[in-house]
Amino acid sequence: MTAPSAPHAYRPGIRDTVMHALARAVERNPDGEFLAIDGVGITYRQIDHDANAMARKFQELGVGKGDTVVTLFDTSLDVFVCWFAINKLGAIWVPINTAYRGEFLRHQVSDTGARLAICDPQYLERFEHIADLLPNLQLILCRSPGPFPICTIPIHSLDEYRGTDGSTLPIIVQPSDMATLIYTSGTTGPSKGCMISHNFMCMQGRQHRRHVPQEPGETGWTCLPVFHSAALIFVLGALVEGLRVAVASKFSVTRFWDEIETAGASNTLLMASIFPLVAHAPDCEAAQRYHGKLKMVFGVPISAPVRQIWKNRFGVKVVSSWSYGQTEGVRLTSAYPDETPPEESAGRPTDEYEIMIVDADDQPVPEGTVGEIVYRPREPNVMFEGYWRRPEDTAKVWRNMWMHSGDLGKMIGGYLYFCDRAKDYLRSRGENISSFEVERTFMGHHAVAEAAVHAVGAQNGEDSIKVTAVLREGAVLNEKELCLWSIENLPYFAVPRYFEFRHELPKNPTGRVLKYQLRDDGVTASTWDRDAAGIAVRRSN
């Protein structure tokens, strides 16, 4: 393996914060463009000024060190102004998935204990619906001039809190201080907030630069939503070195190459489902003009045939999908651009972590043997600090001095091979999903007595989701009606494709549902298929 040359080489022992990284970038490149969203850009100097001004207004509201502030935002410049303003006060930024509504949204907002939430106007109604269930929330700021509906929680315009005094604020955070809470889907319980330190965030940015190099004058491009850790890492990779990044607020296969060309992108981060869409899209002039100019695309997973299409058709030099990680430890394995790992591997362990494969007794297994993937940091504050307000859950996964991933894998020749996932973990349309939370939503339907949510077919990166339900005695409900109800009450990516009603669910002697049996049953003769019924579910549903 050939490591990259400086300045992207691994440098152990660096201690950093998001605020120190921003201050360095402002000092080094004040009028350089930091970020462009849909072609609208902002310099390092301007975003620092705007964040300082907003931080002072938030401070007047009582936001201080250690407080949590929730945002429910589509991609916009305000995402970053608010993020930096919150962190400048030593407060903790909590970005929430914009697909969340109902119980999904209530749980995360309530769990944070946040007194302040900020949202786009199209999401205000979601807060209104659960306002009585959020006793801690005292104020909602909306990216709209108003007027606003009457709500049990006061609603003001964010414009009132932009402020004018953008003079420099002192940096009060330390590398070990919390910068953000990123919620990760639980396998057997509610989603948990991963406590992410400033140093962990900055490390992720430096790590991204090592594996997806970008030189001064070059631009990185992504269309991933910025409430996701992957997109945040992409932005942090620019911030820590004072570089430029361009973000599209939405993905469009027809505009993809035009947007890449307009941004002048040298590298891009995409999600798995996008790679084949672009690879097989009709020819366009922008793709022909930009042939060979995109150095690298990165995302997980990319099949070997699709990777080859990107190289041959678009002249992309490196198409990389060798990576494994979790929110708790984001990029645990990877590969350098000039390295070609075995096709089925997830790359080598990155410099910041040790990885081991263990058996049920936490003993290491021989090379090539499948076991649980466990890992630990080589430096302080380079992985999550535990689950927010859940010390028992933290202790369950962090034992015997190793973080237990719940995933199965094997090591061969220094490379990690991912084999399977935690059984109740679901992934659909690029999103991690807690089966527990989807089940709890279905249990909120007046006609449903029991519900089990599980994957159907091979778990190979994207799952087809099925709900198997038992109706209450005397209830009348068909699968289509339950499907339409779920579209209104679940994030779009969590709406099952398959629905089946049974008289009872298979259980063990202690009453636990045997999901492995339901998974093995798969699509039965009595299973109703949403796709076959012609019901499409989109983000805008």
For 442: left if phi > 0, alpha if psi spans -120 to 50, otherwise beta; the answer is alpha
- Mean pLDDT, residues 97-101: 90
Q: Give pLDDT, residue 304.
A: 82
Q: Give pLDDT, residue 2.
A: 41
Q: Give pLDDT, residue 5.
A: 43
Q: Considering the domain 425-529 in this protein, what is its CATH number?
A: 3.30.300.30
Q: Give pLDDT, residue 6.
A: 44
In eight-state DSSP terms, residue 122 is: G
Q: Is the pLDDT of residue 19 over 50?
A: yes
Q: Is the pLDDT of residue 296 over 80?
A: yes
- Mean pLDDT, residues 483-491: 94
- Mean pLDDT, residues 433-442: 83
| DSSP H helical ranges for 29-116 | 44-60, 77-88, 102-112
Q: Give pLDDT, residue 170.
A: 97
**How sure is the predictor about 460, in pLDDT bands with cuts at 50, 70 and 90?**
low
More confident residue, 88 or 406: 88
Pick from 173-187, 228-242, 282-296, 380-394: least confident:
173-187
pTM comes to: 0.83
**How sure is the predictor about 421, in pLDDT bands with cuts at 50, 70 and 90?**
low
Q: Give pLDDT, residue 511.
A: 64
More confident residue, 246 or 435: 246
By percentage, how much of the chain surpasses pLDDT 70?
94
How far is CA 86 from its chain centroid? 20
Q: Give pLDDT, residue 3.
A: 43
**How sure is the predictor about 504, in pLDDT bands with cuts at 50, 70 and 90?**
very high
**Is 46-197 a domain of CATH 3.40.50.980?**
yes
Three-class secondary structure of residue 9 per DSSP: coil
Q: Considering the domain 333-420 in this protein, what is its CATH number?
A: 2.30.38.10
Q: Is the pLDDT of residue 1 over 70?
A: no
**How sure is the predictor about 185, in pLDDT bands with cuts at 50, 70 and 90?**
low
Q: Is the pLDDT of residue 141 over 60?
A: yes
- Mean pLDDT, residues 79-98: 97
Q: Give pLDDT, residue 320.
A: 85
- Mean pLDDT, residues 257-263: 97
Q: Which two tokens stand for residue 417?
A: 């091979």
Q: What is the dihedral of CA 232, 238, 244, 245, to 10 degrees?
A: -20
- E-strand ranges in 122-166 read 139-142, 155-157
Helix axes 435-442, 102-112, angle to 10 degrees: 120
198 vs 195: CA distance, rounded Å: 10
Q: Give pLDDT, residue 25.
A: 97
Q: Give pLDDT, residue 520.
A: 87
Tens digits of per-residue pLDDT, 337-390?
888 899 889 999 999 999 999 998 999 999 999 889 999 999 999 999 999 999
Tell me the CA distances in angstroms from 541 to 67, 99, 277, 426, 492, one per residue in order: 33, 10, 22, 21, 7
- Mean pLDDT, residues 101-126: 96
Domain ranges, ordered by start, for the chain: 46-197, 333-420, 425-529
Helix axes 479-489, 435-442, angle to 10 degrees: 120
Identify the CA nearest to 148 among candidates 125, 177, 117. 125
49 contacts 166 by C-beta, under 8 angstroms? yes
